[in-house]
Structure 1
C-alpha cells in the first residue's frame, strides 16, 4: 500500500482518519499534533527570553510515552533558547523493572544533551515499592500507593528545579480511560480536578502559585502510534509492564475502549472532545481554588486535610516523611 501523502511505501493505516502513511509522513504527523497541542494549550510563556527561559520538567520514566514526548519537544525547541527541558526520573524500587528504564533515560538525555534528575522512593520515603506491595498495610493495589508517592515527588522536585511547567507523557488512550472512569464513577469533583490539573488553558487555571502547572502534550496521540513512533525512530524506550500493575478496573475500561475503537474508529477522540467541555463546566462550578487549601501538619504540602494523603500512606508503610 502506498502512502496517501507522498506515495512512498506505507508502514501503517490510521483507521480513524483513513490514511495510509509511510515512515516519514507518519513521524511528521505525530510531531505536528504534539506541536499543535503545545500551541493550543499555551505552554510557552510569551514573556520567556533566552536570559530567562521557560523551564519545562518532563516526567521521564524511560517508557515509550515519556521518551517520545522528550524527543519531540527537544527536536522542536532545540534551536529555541526560550525553553529549557529537564528530565525527572523516579526510581520506585521495583526489582528487575525500573533499572532497565533508568538506563533508557540516561541514554536518551545523554544523546539529547539534557539535564537529568534521578530520585528514588527509598531516599525520599525510606520505602521500596517491592516491600510496599508485599506488606500492603492498607489493603490497596500497589498502584494506589505508587501514584500518590509519584505525584508528590514530581511536584516537589518540579518546584526545586524552578519549573514553570511539569509535563507528563499521558497519551490519548490514558486520557480517554480516565475520562470514562471518572464519568462511570459519577464523580464530578474528580472530573473538575482532572480538568484543572492538565486539560485547561494555562491562562484559565487557578492556584498556579501553589502548584506547578501540568500539561500532557501527547494526549491527542493514540498509544499504538506512540509505540510505533518510538520503534521507527529507534528510541531507547523500555516497553515492559510494571510487575505490580493491578488496576483491574482500568484494564476493563481499556479493553472496552479498544473494542469500541476497533468497531467505531475515532471513539477515543470523540470521548475526549465531549469530556473536556463537560470537565470545564464541572471545574467552573466546583472549583475551590488554592484559598481552600491548608498546609499538611506533617510536611507542609498543600492539602484539604490535616495530614495529606502522601504522609498518611508513608506512615502506614513505615517510611519517613520528607520535609517540603
Structure 2
C-alpha cells in the first residue's frame, strides 16, 4: 500500500482516519499532533522569553512513551531559549527492571544533551518496591503503592527544580482508559481532579498555585503509534514490562477498548474528547468563591497538598512501618 501523501510504501494504517503513511509522513504526523497539543493547552505562556525562560520537567522512565515525548520536545525546542528541559527518572527499587530502563534514560539524555536527574524510593522513603510488594500491609496491587509514591516524588522534585510544568508520557490509550474507569466507577471527584491536574488549557485549570501544573502532550497519539515512532527513530527504549504490574481492572478496560476501537475506529478519541469537556464542567462543582478547590488542605505530617488530613503517601508509609 502506498502512502497517501507520496509514492513511498506505507508503514502504518490509521483506521480512525483512513490514512496510510510512509515512515517520513508518519513521523511528521506524530510530531505535528504533539506540537498541536502544546499550542492548544497553552503550554508556552506569552511571558516566556530568553530572559524569563520556562523550566519543563519530564517524567523520564525509559519506556517508549516518555522517551518519544522527550525526543519530540527536544526537537521542537532545541533552538528555543525560552524552554529548558530536565529529565527526571525515578528508581523504584525493582530488581533487574529499573536498572535496565535507567540505562536507556542516561543514553537518551546524553544524546540530546539535556539535564538528567535520578531519585529513588529508597532514598526518599526508605522503601524499595520489591519489599513493599512482599509486605503488602494494605492488601492491594503493587501499582497502587507505586503510583502514590511516584506522584509525590515527581511533584516534589518538579517544585524543587523550579519547574513551570511537569510533563508525563501518557498516550491516547492511557487517557481513554482512565476516562472510562473514572466514569464506570462513578468517581466524579477524580474527574475534577484529573482536569485540574493535567487536562485542557492551562488558563482554564484551577489550583495552579497548589501544584506544579501537569501536561500530557502525547495524549492524542495511540500507544501503537508511539511504539512505531520509537522503532523507526531507533530510540533507546526499555520495552520490558514491570514484573509487579497487576492492574487487573485497567487491563479489562484496555481489552474492552481494543475491541471497541477495532469495530468502531475513533472510539478512543471520542471518549477522551467528551471526557475532557465533562471533567471541565465537573471541576466547577468543587470550586469555592475564589475559583479554587474548596477541599484542599495541607497534610499534617509532610505539608503536601491533599484532600484529607494525612496524605495518601504518609498513610501508606505509616502502614509499611
Whether the TM-score (by the shorter chain) exceeds 0.5 is yes
- Deviation, structure 1 residue 31: 0.1
* d(CA) in 2 for partners of 1:182, 1:136: 25
* d(CA) in 2 for partners of 1:287, 1:272: 23
Aligned 1:1-324 pairs, distance under 5 A: 1-287=1-287, 289-290=292-293, 292-318=295-321
| Contact 1:101–1:237, Cα closer than 8 Å, also in 2 | yes
CA offset digits 1:71-111 (Å, max 9, x no partner): 00000000111000000000000011111110000000000
Pairwise CA RMSD of aligned residues? 1.0
| Contact 1:192–1:287, Cα closer than 8 Å, also in 2 | no
* d(CA) in 1 for partners of 2:99, 2:273: 37
* d(CA) in 2 for partners of 1:255, 1:57: 32
- Deviation, structure 1 residue 293: 2.2
* d(CA) in 2 for partners of 1:272, 1:294: 29
| Contact 1:210–1:290, Cα closer than 8 Å, also in 2 | no
* d(CA) in 2 for partners of 1:247, 1:63: 18
Give the TM-score taking structure 1 as reference length: 0.96
Give the TM-score taking structure 2 as reference length: 0.97
* d(CA) in 2 for partners of 1:43, 1:232: 27
Q: Which runs of 5+ in 1 are unaligned?
A: 319-324
- Deviation, structure 1 residue 284: 1.4
State the secondary structure of the residue aligned to 2:285: helix
Moved over 4 A (4+): none
* d(CA) in 2 for partners of 1:127, 1:211: 25
Q: Which runs of 5+ in 2 are unaligned?
A: none
* d(CA) in 2 for partners of 1:290, 1:103: 40
Moved more, 225-234 or 198-207: 198-207
* d(CA) in 1 for partners of 2:115, 2:45: 20
* d(CA) in 2 for partners of 1:287, 1:134: 41
* d(CA) in 2 for partners of 1:273, 1:259: 19
Equivalences, count: 318
State the secondary structure of the residue aligned to 1:230: helix
| Contact 1:58–1:88, Cα closer than 8 Å, also in 2 | yes
